[in-house]
A and B are shown apart, each in its own frame.
Chain A
Amino acid sequence: DSGVTQTPKHLITATGQRVTLRCSPRSGDLSVYWYQQSLDQGLQFLIQYYNGEERAKGNILERFSAQQFPDLHSELNLSSLELGDSALYFCASAVTGPGANVLTFGAGSRLTVL
């Protein structure tokens, strides 16, 4: 157990629907990162939050949004789902400040869009 908790583990839904993926970071970690892993795109950085504020954005579609709550858990919202959104979505958390801060990953949420 990495200490980063992601729910749900698996999710099957239809095109056009909306889903929410949830992530609880390791205790003490203020930064949360979301990644998408698909066969054709590899591991793509989506977005990062630090202590409730958005810090960096990657290749995140406008149909996707995220937030980090005061208790530091984060949610990734995916709307108007398309077949191509089927992927494994990872959350990772990290301590802050300088140094080789290691990102610790959750087990991922596998999304299948039919």
Chain B
Amino acid sequence: AQTVTQSQPEMSVQEAETVTLSCTYDTSESDYYLFWYKQPPSRQMILVIRQEAYKQQNATENRFSVNFQKAAKSFSLKISDSQLGDAAMYFCAYRSGGTSYGKLTFGQGTILTVHP
């Protein structure tokens, strides 16, 4: 079974600074997808960014980018120019690829605090 580990229960950053959230995963599969979801105080789960394992290029979405290290099974999220609205719980998630209709397996989450 696949597992996802987020080793940082809490992180904090100053507004406009950069922060990196860590995620590692364990799998024997070669085809899979990785995601970062954000859960603000409203509790809504919001997709931040996704990465296909077969792509070597790291995904970016505006101020959000990932560092995908497939051999190390590491998938960190970098938030640049942090904003107060970035304060939330961030979850790393794994999904099997291929024609699987597979579920997402989530890490434990990292609470991000943004200081003004």
Contact = CB atoms under 8 A, between A and B. Distances in A.
A111 to B, nearest CB: 13
A43 B47 contact: no
Interface stretch (A20-28, A72-80, A101-109): A101-109
A98 interface: yes
A58 B33 contact: no
B103 to A, nearest CB: 5
B105 A97 contact: no
Contacts of B52: 100
* Size class of the A contact interface (CB-based, 8 Å): 20 to 34
Nearest to A96: B101
Contacts of A33: 103-104
* Size class of the B contact interface (CB-based, 8 Å): 20 to 34
Nearest to A105: B45
Nearest to B108: A42
Contact of A105 (B44, B103, B107): B44
12 contacts: A2-B44, A42-B106, A43-B106, A45-B105, A56-B101, A56-B102, A58-B103, A88-B43, A92-B104, A94-B101, A100-B33, A100-B51
Given A33-B103, A107-B42, 7 more contacts: A31-B101, A42-B108, A43-B106, A98-B98, A98-B99, A100-B95, A101-B95
Q: Can you list the 6 inter-chain pairs with the closest CB atoms, starting with the nearest? A: A105-B45, A43-B106, A45-B103, A100-B33, A98-B99, A100-B50
